[in-house]
Each structure stands twice: as structure tokens, then as C-alpha cells.
Amino acid sequence: MQRPGPSTSSTTTPKSKFLMMVTGEISVAEMINVQTIYCKYFYVFGADWKFIGGIKEGVSATSSKGVHHKIALNTPIEATFSSTNPFKWPQIVLACYGPDLFGNDVIRGYGSAFLPTVPGRTERKVAVFVPEASTTMHKILGFFTGRRAEFVDPRIVSTSEGREAQTNNK
């Protein structure tokens, strides 16, 4: 005797989607000991997300510090995403570059921030950091050759791998 198999109904309910749209600008940079920079930006998001419109990645103009000790970048951003769930919400990743003492373009800071989760005007301050060379010799060589420590893939900035807090309970 055979059991009836699962019904193969032709009326399947499609997954519901939601859209998220962001418009704004990367307005200013405040960096110590840096006079001139330009920033590259792009978005990182989960597998359920789709980029459906806007500017996927971009580069600002090169800007210098003004009278208020801020670097005005005024770079517009615009993106529209769709998803079926909020897991791995989109982030914007920034990579800022500027000249060193010898005029070589070197990394001046990496940073990332989640895109706003609520409608309305939002202002974000993104902390940036520069990776350190693994040895003193690499640091010295990097200074003179203009090839400082830098990430091969800047998307690493948007992940949490390797940032676990470790405690020693003795």
C-alpha cells in the first residue's frame, strides 16, 4: 500500500519582500595629522539582500583641510536594496587614502557603519583605523617604499571575525 506523497500545488505563496532606500552624503572627515584625502566607498550585505538601484561604489574628490580643521568630502550616496529578512543588514565600508611624505597614496583609514534602520534623517560618525605592519622591519620598509600595511580585501572591515573579546579568569 502506498502513502500519498506531498501535494504539489501550483499555487505557492511568494516570499514577501521589503525595500530599503538610502540617500545622503559622506560629508566631512576629521583626521589627525592628515591634510588631504579621498575616500572610496562600497556596500556589504548578506546573501538574502539584493542591490537593485543607485550607486554601488564610488570615490570622492580629493579634498584638503579647511579653516575648521575638517576635510569636506560632500560625496553623494544613493542605494536601494531589497530583502526577505533583515539578517546581515547592509553596511557602508569606507577606505580613505592620502599622500604620505613622499607623495605616495597610502591608506589613511578604514571604517564601516550599518545603514540606518529607521526612516528619517540620520547622522553617523564612523571611526577609522589603519592596520599596523606585522614587524618593525615591515613598518620601516613600508615607510620608505610607500607600500604600507593595507588590506587585500577591505570588506574584512565589515565582519566581526577576529574581534572576539578574550578574558583570563584566574
pLDDT per position as a tens digit, 90-101: 999 999 999 988
Mean pLDDT of the chain: 84
Q: What is the pLDDT of residues 69-78, one digit of tens each?
A: 889 899 999 9
- Determine if the pTM surpasses 0.75: yes
| Three-state DSSP string of the chain | CCCCCCCCCCCCCCCCCEEEEEEEEEEEECCCCCCEEEEEEEEECCCCCEEEEECCEEECCCEEECCCCCEEEEEEEEEEEEECCCCCCCEEEEEEEEECCCCCEEEEEEEEEECCCCCCCCCCCCCCECCCCCCHHHHHHHHHHCCCCCCCCHHHHHCCCCCCCCCCCC
Task: Please give the average per-residue pLDDT across 63-83, as a whole number.
Answer: 90
Per-residue pLDDT at 4 exceeds 80: no
CATH 3.10.50 fits domain 18-158: no
